[in-house]
Structures are given as C-alpha cells and as structure tokens.
Amino acid sequence: MSGMDVLEKIGELKSRKNAVILAHNYQVPEVQDAADFVGDSLELSRKAADLAAGVIVFCGVHFMAETAAILSPAKTVLLPEIEAGCPMADMINGRELRAWKARYPGLPVVCYVNTSAEVKAESDICCTSSNAVSVVNSLGVDELLFVPDKNLAAYVARETGKRIIGWDGYCYVHHRFTPLDIEEARRLHPKAEVWVHPECPLDVIALADKTLSTGKMVLEARTTSCREIVIGTEKGIIYRLAKENPSVTFYPARETALCVNMKKTTLAKVLRALETDTFRVAVPPDIADRARGAIQAMLRIS
Ligand code: 13P
Ligand code: SF4
C-alpha cells in the first residue's frame, strides 16, 4: 500500500470509529503529520481528558496511553506498538515505592508522569516536565519525595530551593548529554542559543540558556528572535521545530539523542491499530481511581 493509501485508510477508519490520533513531539515525521494533535506529555494528557472521541490512538509510549486511559475510562485507548515502553518509567514499581515511602513517613510523593499507573496510585500528585516546578511549589512543604527521575528532581530542587529526595532513575537519552556536548555545540554554533530538557543532568542544564519541556520549546520557538538554536533533547522534536519555524535553524546537541521506543510507532502500525483495535491499554479500576487523583491534582494546579 502506498503512503497516500495508508493515510486515506486511516482517515476513513478515524471517521467511522470516531477516533483521534495523538502523537508525542518525539514521534517519527510520518506519524506527527498524520496526527490530529502533537504535543508534550502535559498537553497530551489534557487533550485525552477533553476529547469527545470514542477512540484515542496514542502514538507515544506506554505510560502516556495509560494516563489517557486513566483520565478517560469510557474511551478506547490504543497504543499502536505495545513494545513502546519508557525505560525510565520501568525503574520503579508500586511495591518499591511503597517500601521507599515507608522510610520517610509524612513526606509527600511527587511522581513524574513517566511512571506506571501503579506508581501514580501510590503518589500524592503527578507532574510533567512543563509543570514540575509549580507542582512542587504548590505543595507548601520544604521536603518531599520525587520519583523516578533524579535529574528532574535535581533541577526542581535548584529552582524551588526545596529539599527533594529523588529516586535513582533517569532517562537514558537525556542522561547521556554531557557538558562537553554543550561546549562543542557552542564552539560550532557561536550565535546559537542552547535549549535543553530538564531530564538532562544538572551540569548540562547549568550551561544552557533555557531549560524547557518539549511543549515549551515548541512555544518558545514561535516567538524567539534567535535564528539558530541548539536543541538538547530527543532529536525527533527537531522535525516539528523546523517545520513550524522555517526561518530558524535547529541543531541537535547530540546527533545520537534518540529514544528507540518513541521510534517504534509507524504509520503502518497506526493503521493496524485502527483496523484491529489493538493494542488496547486499560488500567484496573481500583488502581485507575487512585492514579486519577494524582493526575487530577496536577491538572488543577497547572
Ligand atoms: P515532555 O514532552 O513532557 O517534555 O517529556 C519528554 C519525555 O521524555 C517524554 O518521555
Ligand atoms: Fe522515556 Fe526518555 Fe524515551 Fe522519554 S525519551 S520515553 S523519558 S526513555
């Protein structure tokens, strides 16, 4: 089947099934182009909750589809590639969090959205990279637990001045950025600003001009007067940035910054998802109810 035929078939099935395609900013170009909405984790959670559609095809990784399923239990949420997980989200499970919490009685738990439903169910409030600082400030406490990303925890501690005890997790894509990458990028592109994601290590963040979630990079690129920007996050976002801002040149801070799991979804798999209603992501109601509390607490404050 040609690319056009696949798109046409996807369009037909979407209207027949009242389906909507959501895609994360790291998805491959053909998937971003076929999506009804492309965004960061926070934008996609909000969309999933607000949409009137009966079926959501979630082009991203498993925890994102799970978040959509938690917020919209009456909708069918499909993940086109069931193997698309997030290794960072897999670095802590519900049992481990329960045991860890028991060592710090009384401390609130903030979980990054990159966690399983089970971990969200054990947490007080969820956050994304867009709103982590406001979520932590909203708690009105000086000390808290944060799972699973130690880099995001360190960044939020720096920004808020709070004592944050972080789980020892990390994103292998962002953790690999080094100060040398930023120094080298500045040498190659002396006029460029450097924007990095808060999942990067703190010594990398310290050398950047801006620290932004992927959604905030998209927004900032629309208004910046800068004509050259070095991007320190998963390289897939550069497709969207370049498409929306043809007068700006974007350079990856690391050529090899690729999330293998984000690349597993293809247009052919989106079509298969719609044809076969696979892979359906559902969360057991008792876990979903508790996890929803943590996500809604976040949505209320951001
Ligand atoms: P955001 O798109 O929310 O910035 O998150 C990045 C990410 O790593 C998603 O897995
Ligand atoms: Fe997980 Fe990192 Fe991939 Fe995001 S980029 S899905 S945090 S492994």
In this prediction, residue 152 has a pLDDT band, given cuts at 50, 70 and 90, of: very high
- CA distances to 51, 65, 77, 101, 157 from 282, rounded to whole Å, are 17, 9, 7, 26, 34
Closest CA to 220 of 237, 195, 239, 238: 195
The closest-lying atom of ligand 2 relative to the alpha carbon of residue 174 is: 2
Q: What percent of the chain has pLDDT over 90?
A: 96
Average pLDDT (33-56) is 93
- The CATH architecture of the domain made up of 3-85+262-283 is 3-Layer(aba) Sandwich (3.40)
Nearest CA to ligand 2 atom 6: 86
CB 146 within 8 A of CB 162: no
CB 127 within 8 A of CB 296: no
In this prediction, residue 1 has a pLDDT band, given cuts at 50, 70 and 90, of: confident
In this prediction, residue 46 has a pLDDT band, given cuts at 50, 70 and 90, of: confident
CB 33 within 8 A of CB 240: no
Average pLDDT (123-148) is 98
- The CATH architecture of the domain made up of 89-170+287-301 is 3-Layer(aba) Sandwich (3.40)
Distance, CA 198 to ligand 1 centroid (Å)? 9
**pTM, rounded to two decimals:** 0.97
Q: Ligand 1: list residues with CB < 6 Å.
A: 25, 40-42, 86, 114, 128-130, 171, 199, 213-214
Closest CA to 66 of 279, 298, 300: 279
The closest-lying atom of ligand 2 relative to the alpha carbon of residue 260 is: 3
Q: Which fold has domain 177-252?
A: Rossmann fold (3.40.50)
In this prediction, residue 171 has a pLDDT band, given cuts at 50, 70 and 90, of: very high
CA atoms within 13 A on the CB side of 96: 13
Rounded to the nearest integer, the mean pLDDT of the chain is: 97
Average pLDDT (179-194) is 98
Q: Closest ligand to 41 CA? A: 1
Ligand 2 pocket check: which of 171, 174, 234 to mutate, most ligand atoms within 8 Å of Cβ? Answer: 171
Of 41-50, 59-68, 118-127, 249-258, give the lowest mean pLDDT range. Answer: 41-50
Is any atom of ligand 2 closer than 6 Å to the C-beta of 35? Answer: no
- For the record, the structure tokens of 123 come out as 């947490």
In whole angstroms, give the CA distance from residue 191 to residue 178: 20
Burial (CB < 10 A; 0-12, 13-18, 19+), residue 178, is middle
Distance, CA 26 to ligand 1 centroid (Å)? 8
The closest-lying atom of ligand 1 relative to the alpha carbon of residue 128 is: 3
The closest-lying atom of ligand 2 relative to the alpha carbon of residue 26 is: 5
SS3 of the chain: helix, strand, coil, percent, to 5: 45, 15, 35
Is residue 76's pLDDT more than 90? yes
Distance, CA 16 to ligand 2 centroid (Å)? 33
At 249-293, the pLDDT tens digits run: 999 999 999 999 999 999 999 999 999 999 999 999 999 999 999
Distance, CA 235 to ligand 2 centroid (Å)? 12
Is residue 48's pLDDT more than 80? yes
The closest-lying atom of ligand 1 relative to the alpha carbon of residue 199 is: 8
In whole angstroms, give the CA distance from residue 91 to residue 111: 12
Is any atom of ligand 2 closer than 6 Å to the C-beta of 117? Answer: no
Q: Where are the domains of the chain?
A: 3-85+262-283, 89-170+287-301, 177-252
Distance, CA 84 to ligand 2 centroid (Å)? 10
